[in-house]
Amino acid sequence: MNTTTALKTYANVGLETSVAAADPHKLILLLYQGALLAINSAKNQIQRKDIAAKGKSISQAIMIIDEGLKASLDKNAGGELAQNLSALYDYMNQRLLIANLKNDTAILDEVSRLLIELKTAWEEIRQIATSAQQPANTTQPQAAKQAALTYGRM
């Protein structure tokens, strides 16, 4: 087994372990992280003119956004927030398709910024939810509860 194969195997085992041990909030964070990594890879591949790899990375980001983040939304419990996130995910996927066609790193940066904003907000919600589970604080702020319900996680 060569070093590259060994590293990929180790990374896959590490990722599978992270996913298996993750709580629902952490799973959403892992999806954001995966999409961001795929977009960053695509950007590097555009700069190296590796068109096939770029297409694969952008496809991976689209799949994570569509089949991971968007598919996990609970539009009934999440209401308007879930509808808005769904529309935003559709917008991101459209922009990624255009970035793929035009090899446009500025569009990749735009989608990355949107994902980072959502990821940061979700991290803050996770902190609120975690502190709400402490015995001294039994009431969870409504905004955090609504956001968690958006993904059908609470």
How many beta carbons lie within 10 A of that of residue 29, not counting itself?
15
Ranking 18-32, 50-64, 94-108 by mean pLDDT, the lowest is 18-32
- Which among 6-15, 50-59, 129-138 has the top mean pLDDT? 50-59
Length of the chain: 154
Q: Say if CB 100 and CB 17 are below 8 A apart.
A: no
Model pLDDT for residues 111-136, shown as the tens digit of each residue: 999 999 999 999 998 778 777 666 55
Q: How far is CA 79 from CA 69, 93, 110, 114, in A?
A: 16, 22, 26, 21
Run of H or E residues at 139: none
The domain locations on the chain are 24-150
Assess contact for 69 and 28: CB atoms under 8 A.
Answer: yes
CATH superfamily of 24-150: Flagellar protein FliS (1.20.120.340)
pLDDT grade for 3, boundaries at 50, 70 and 90: very low
CB 147 within 8 A of CB 81: yes
Q: Which residue in 105, 110, 146, 144 sits closest to 127, CA to CA?
A: 144
Tell me how far apart the terminal alpha carbons of the chain are, to the nearest angstrom: 43
- Mean pLDDT lowest for which of 16-20, 36-40, 49-53, 81-85? 16-20
Q: What predicted TM-score, i.e. pTM, was given to this entire model?
A: 0.76
